Amino acid sequence: DVQVVKKDFSEDASQQIPQAIDLSKSSIDDGINLLMGLERQCRLAGDFKTLKEVCVSMVTICYNCGNWTKLNSTIAVISKKRSQSKVAITAVVEECMSYLDKTPNETIKIDLIKILMEICEGKMYVEAECARLHLIMAKILEAKGDIDEACAMIQDVHVETYGTLDKKEKVEFILEQIRLNLIRKDYIR
């Protein structure tokens, strides 16, 4: 049996995060790679507080550099790490959702939404974020005139079972589902 040794990496993070930010000004890959090493150490040692800080710093660096492709790939890499912390994934998803209104164009926004939806899928601890992403995507599809796709996007999201959403948000989501079905003339659902 392998014993996980608890260690506090906050001191390392306080040194390496500013270094990574400086490195990213010349090479974003070098800045992210520096933090990937620290992310691994924190994750394996169970230092979730520092892990969260490191992961959020990685996506913030990508955002600040305006490199949306690197942001999407960094999010994917963080989420697919073996035994990745729920705290880290939740923090990364929440941070990246704050970038949705700041994307330079709709294509980049859709790509970011899709990667976040992929990460959230099947994870109860980010179910509220997943529902919100589906709703945002449905509104984008409806604006493009694709009512069927918009309806399909939110139809199978069962928000009434989500404990993390407040009642008002659940009702608004369900009303949006009903509204899209009525536009589509699907009176059975």
pLDDT for 144-176, tens place per residue?
999 999 888 888 888 776 777 888 988 888 888
Checking if the pLDDT of 130 tops 70, the result is yes
Per-residue pLDDT tens digits for 23-58: 999 999 999 999 999 999 999 988 899 999 999 999
> DSSP alpha helices (H): ranges in the chain?
10-26, 28-45, 48-65, 68-79, 86-97, 106-120, 127-143, 147-155, 167-183
Q: Answer yes or no: is pLDDT of 93 > 90.
A: yes
Angle between helices 86-97 and 48-65 (to 10 degrees): 30
User: Given a cut of 70, is residue 4 above it in pLDDT?
Assistant: no
What percent of the chain clears pLDDT 90, i.e. is strictly above it?
62
Q: What span, in angstroms and rounded, lies between the C-alpha atoms of 78 and 51?
A: 11
CA distance 109 to 143: 14
How much is the pLDDT for 178? 87
How large is the average pLDDT for residues 104-118? 95
d(CA 47, CA 42): 5
Whole-number pLDDT of residue 16: 94
Q: What would the mean pLDDT of 98-123 be, rounded to a whole number?
A: 94
Q: Is the pLDDT of residue 2 over 60?
A: no
Rounded alpha-carbon distances, angstroms, from residue 160 to 49, 78, 151? 32, 30, 17
Q: Taking Cα atoms as reference points, which of 23, 53, 21, 60 lies closest to residue 38? A: 53
pLDDT at 143 over 60: yes
At residue 22, the pLDDT reads 94
Res. 189 pLDDT band, cuts 50 70 90:
low
pLDDT of residue 107: 95
